[in-house]
Amino acid sequence: MASNQKSADMAPEIREPSSSVPLTSDFGAKSTNHDIWLSASTGERKGPALLEDNFGREKIMKFDHERIPERVVHARGAGAFGTFKLYESAADVTSAGVLTDTSRTTPVFVRFSTVLGSRGSADTVRDVRGFAVKFYTEEGNWDIVGNDIPVFFIQDAMKFPDVIHAGKPEPDKEVPQAQSAHNNFWDFQFLHTEATHMFMWAMSDRGIPRSYRMMQGFGVNTYTLTKNDGGERHFVKFHFTPTLGVHSLVWDEALKLAGQDPDFHRKDLYTAIDMGVYPTWKFGIQICPESRQDEFDFDILDATKVWPEELLPVRYIGELQLNKNVDEYFTQTEQAAFCTAHVVPGIGFSDDPLLQGRNFSYFDTQLSRLGVNWQELPVNRPVCPVMNNHRDGQLQHKITRGSINYWPNRKSVIPPAKPEEGGYLDYPEKVVAMKQRLHSVKFSEHFSQAQLFWNSMSEIEKSHIIAALGFELDHCDDPVVYERMVTRLCDISLELAQAVAEKAGSPTPTKTANENHGLTAKGLSQLDFTPEAMGLPATIASRMIAIIIGDGFNFAEYEAVKAALSAAGAFVFTIGPKRQPVKSSTGQSVAPDHHFEGMRSTMFDSLYIPGGEHVASLMKEGRVIHWVREAFGHCKAIGATGEGVALVKMACEIEGMTFSAGASGEVVDSYGVVTAAGIGTPAGITEGLRMVKGAKTFLEAYAFNISQHRNFKRELDGLTSMVAY
Ligand code: HEM
């Protein structure tokens, strides 16, 4: 990463251990022995340890206190540094420098997370993902503490402890970990009808993203944009849309990965940045002038509602890119503290009752998690000057000179800033109201947008939601819970409720009191966010490809495919029976990156099997056949050339599938399984990589299918359910 204000700010804190830097105590004295406690001993006999050993006591005491409380929610996460650039000024609605000055590059830190699991839980569980962005602006830190889902379970912060208690492990046995599939979660969802819209999102493929790099981010709450020179205030929702497209795992894969590679998302983020494929999001704002706030049939301050794009379009004005991994997890990612209350001049809050509570909660929880001076920690401190009369407290770092620590003072030390000097201007909002515990009338409608979401799903997304609800309710053993939940689903769609009832073991409902309105909206289905749908070129950059080889593989095919995919930005790995070198039929040695047992197909986006004599032995390896069948079951692109076609055919020859045959070299693309039996020379497979539908050469057809992420037609036509994986 090119140096920026934030990396320069943190540089003095960075220590570089090396063999020329001797070991010292925390107070700086060099230590000669860090292995044996000072004791009263002789050469023959070990005697008692002495309390006197400063070095020994310090080492143990520091270790004893290494742990701090994990976050009460969003405990598991991964973060990275990057930059934010604006390509269009929003000066028509705000005076915030970060949203108006197109010449700026603003440093950022982003932390992604799961919500329910503890810090050591798995990355790929079904859950909402946190998407928290800290902009180190010239006017102070601005935090968007968002999620990958644009709505929330509750409308009022007062309900937050309830929704989280209901989702976290049940208090008697402390199970299940990092999962919503249990009685308490679904009991709450039924009784708390305002959660209906959000649980539909969580049960959709949005709940199991393929990568943090391939999910959207939303500020969720309604904020405001203001201008210092007066003028109308605008309500705003913030959006981040990944340029790689929005993609998800499939459920079987997510379940397996949770055990096979619990750090899957963390590693994916780290690797992509390390390899220079920087994750990038378009940044958008949805704007509603104050004068239009009552125009809609939902309340724009209700965090359980989206603002349909047909009513209020998203205006993309900037770009967020992550380009530097953290140097140390604890000091940077774990100690990062986001706070919705962090806004800079030109950006403000709305009266959204969820946001108002959050503004209290983050600051408060960070007091116990990190201590009162958490804003001074390197990752948290702003890049602009900080000066005030806040003093002292545990672990105060700043040394403030002078005899005055109050205002007003006789010397006018630290005067408040005027708005024209960049001071934060509170918007003069007129409030005439009664003091009472009440929401606006529109807050009481809870099903319309859940219906809108369901109606806007594609066929495959609907079937995944049915399967997800079927799985979750199968894990509830109290009939009161799963039977009532099916009645709730009737409020969304009778068809949905009937399909889930069958799986959940509930009576099948035949009518609903809440007819589905039949409306749809764009921007809800994740198919609206494939690169193609967004007008971006298809890409296989950073896709994980496994090439399977054994002794006797065809080196020319292997090399040609590997080189072409790597040149297009894919991360290509060779998987063999062992990590010791494997020999090709023409004598070349290749040391595989992994062996069949060390990795699984779940960790890759696609498989390729080159031709060669190795195929005869691979066809007798159950684990290899399972690799192919599992990739087939998970709808991944599979490629095979020459003799490799026979292996793929044996693993997934079911009705409806066709494979390339004969020496003619014809390429067959059958449900994303691309085979070319006749291609035995590199000439046939090195004709470049135009990733377009209906490509004629093996590489183009194969790469196009990888770029499509998954071939869901395979699943829709029932082919995946005919294979054991
Ligand atoms: C719009 C709904 C919400 C969203 C999008 C959201 C998002 C997030 C995210 C992304 C984090 C992780 C921050 C990090 O990476 O360090 C987080 C943490 C947290 N959230 Fe929320 N949250 C929401 C609602 C709430 C509410 C209503 C409350 C409380 C009233 C709350 C309290 C907390 C707390 C206490 C943490 C832990 C913070 C820490 O220890 O640093 N959240 N939230």
Per residue in 400-429, pLDDT (tens digit) is 999 999 999 999 999 999 999 999 999 999
Strands 234-242 and 280-289: antiparallel
The CB density around residue 361, as the number of other CB atoms within 10 Å, is 18
Query: Could you identify the atom of ligand 1 that is nearest to the CA of residue 336?
Result: 16
Handedness of CA 265, 269, 274, 278 (dihedral sign): positive
The answer to whether the beta carbons of residues 110 and 95 sit under 8 Å apart is no
**Paired tokens of 16:** 């570089």
pLDDT of residue 155: 98
Strands 606-609 and 544-548: parallel
357 lines ligand 1 (CB under 6 A): yes
354 lines ligand 1 (CB under 6 A): yes
223 lines ligand 1 (CB under 6 A): no
pLDDT of residue 129: 98
Backbone angle region of 540, left / alpha / beta, with phi > 0 → left and psi within -120 to 50 → alpha: alpha
CA 145–ligand 1 middle distance (angstroms): 7
Continuous segment of H or E residues that includes residue 4:
none
| Cα 446 to chain centroid, rounded | 27
The answer to whether the beta carbons of residues 636 and 253 sit under 8 Å apart is no
Question: Which residues of the chain fall short of a pLDDT of 70?
Answer: 1-2, 679-688
Instruction: Tell me how far apart the alpha carbons of residues 494 and 616 are, in angstroms, rounded to a whole number.
Output: 52
Structural domains of the chain, ranges and CATH numbers in brackets: 77-376 (2.40.180.10), 452-518 (1.20.1370.20), 544-722 (3.40.50.880)
Per residue in 578-592, pLDDT (tens digit) is 999 999 999 999 999
Q: DSSP string of 669-717?
A: EETTEEEETT--SGGGG-S-----TT--SHHHHHHHHHHT---HHHHHT
The answer to whether the beta carbons of residues 417 and 345 sit under 8 Å apart is no
Indicate the length of the chain as a whole number: 725
The best mutation among 71, 129, 354 to test binding of ligand 1, ranked by most ligand atoms within 8 Å of the C-beta, falls on 71
Enumerate the β-bridge partners of residue 520. Answer: none
The answer to whether the beta carbons of residues 470 and 497 sit under 8 Å apart is no
CA 694–ligand 1 middle distance (angstroms): 46
Residue list for the binding site for heme: 362
Closest CA to 504 of 462, 465, 471: 471
pLDDT of residue 694: 76
Peptide bond into 408 cis (omega under 30): yes
pLDDT of residue 680: 54
Residue list for the binding site: 362
CA 112–ligand 1 middle distance (angstroms): 12
CA 149–ligand 1 middle distance (angstroms): 13
572 lines ligand 1 (CB under 6 A): no
Ligand 1 atom 5, closest CA? 146
pLDDT of residue 662: 78
**Residue 362 to residues 97, 127, 220, 381, Cα–Cα distance (Å):** 25, 21, 16, 16
Catalytic residue ranges: 74, 147
Enumerate the β-bridge partners of residue 81. Answer: 109, 324
pLDDT of residue 687: 52
425 lines ligand 1 (CB under 6 A): no
CA 362–ligand 1 middle distance (angstroms): 7
Instruction: Tell me how far apart the alpha carbons of residues 54 and 526 are, in angstroms, rounded to a whole number.
Output: 59
69-86 b/e (C-beta count within 10 Å ≥ 16 → b): eebebbbbbbbbbbbbeb
237 lines ligand 1 (CB under 6 A): no
The answer to whether the beta carbons of residues 524 and 453 sit under 8 Å apart is yes
pLDDT of residue 684: 56
